[in-house]
A and B are shown apart, each in its own frame.
Chain A
Amino acid sequence: NAGVTQTPKFQVLKTGQSMTLQCAQDMNHEYMSWYRQDPGMGLRLIHYSVGAGITDQGEVPNGYNVSRSTTEDFPLRLLSAAPSQTSVYFCASSSIDRLNQPQHFGDGTRLSIL
């Protein structure tokens, strides 16, 4: 009963390094999304996808790339890490067949940029 799986759980990077945060779901959900959560600011949408091959920008997309080659996977790439990207990152997925379907969240990736 995996649900949404994020890896890694923790990561420390140096400024300028790149990395990919992994997200996989086994519920055959069409919709997947990435959020960042910072103290006092709530969850902010970075990028989202409504199906394989389809992605779009959210509220705070700068510095991040995504792709959706399969229904299951939705990786988030940091191109050149900056200290302002220190945050907790959550991946979420949901079905889109009914509006009342909630988003299911992964356990998060805690990322520190030095």
Chain B
Amino acid sequence: GQNIDQPTEMTATEGAIVQINCTYQTSGFNGLFWYQQHAGEAPTFLSYNVLDGLEEKGRFSSFLSRSKGYSYLLLKELQMKDSASYLCAVRTDYKLSFGAGTTVTVRA
């Protein structure tokens, strides 16, 4: 079975940094994805990690440690529009298994 854990909620101030952790125990591993989902909308792709280390994409970075079954998504210079749910997903073969998502609220 697949077990993917992430915090339910986080709150941060505009301009700050927030780190969303994701731990996983899965049978097989072909990479880890992060998606962003605004309320009432579809998930959209943010990042992909398959090797250990940090991937940076503008204000967003994602880190992976395969030996620890651990990833984090780092959101820098938070903006109000970053208020959304962030979904961690592990790929096994072609399939994705998702965590329950972390709702991030950005306050002015």
Flag if B30 contacts A41 (CB, 8 Å): no
Give 1 or 0 for each of B21-51: 1 = CB within 8 Å of chain A CB: 0000000001101010000011111001010
Say yes or no for A74: interface residue by CB 8 A criterion: no
* Contact (Cβ within 8 A) A103 B42: no
Residues of A32-63 at the interface with B, using a CB-CB cut-off of 8 Å, are 33, 35, 40-45, 48, 50, 58-59
Distance in angstroms from B19 CB to nearest chain A CB is: 20
Q: Which residues of B contact A31 (CB under 8 A)?
A: 94
User: Are A100 and B31 in touch, CB under 8 angstroms?
Assistant: yes
Q: Does B100 contact A (CB under 8 A)?
A: yes
Interface string of A16-35 (1 = CB under 8 A from B): 00000000000000010101
Give the interface residue-count category, chain B: 20 to 34
Q: Would A40 and B100 count as touching, CB distance under 8 A?
A: yes
Given contact pairs A42-B87, A43-B87, A102-B48, A108 touches B42 in the complex (Cβ within 8 A): yes
Q: What's the minimum C-beta distance from B91 to chain A, rounded to whole angstroms?
A: 7
Complex Cα–Cα for A31 and B91 (A): 13
CB-nearest residue of chain B to A40: B100
Residues of the B chain whose Cβ atoms lie less than 8 Å from the Cβ of A108? 41-42
Contact A42 B99 (CB under 8 A): yes
Q: Are B95 and A58 in contact (CB-based, < 8 A)? A: yes
**B48:A100 contact, CB within 8 angstroms:** yes
Q: How far is the CB of A22 from chain B (nearest CB, A)?
A: 16
Q: Which residue of A has the minimal Cβ distance to B96?
A: A103
A99 within 8 A of B: yes
Residues of B within 8 A of A33 (CB): 95-96
Residue of B at shortest CB range from A94?
B94
Residues of chain A contacted by B48 (CB below 8 angstroms): 100, 102
Please give the residue numbers on chain A whose beta carbons come within 8 Å of chain B beta carbons, in ascending order: 31, 33, 35, 40-45, 48, 50, 58-59, 90, 94, 96, 99-100, 102-108
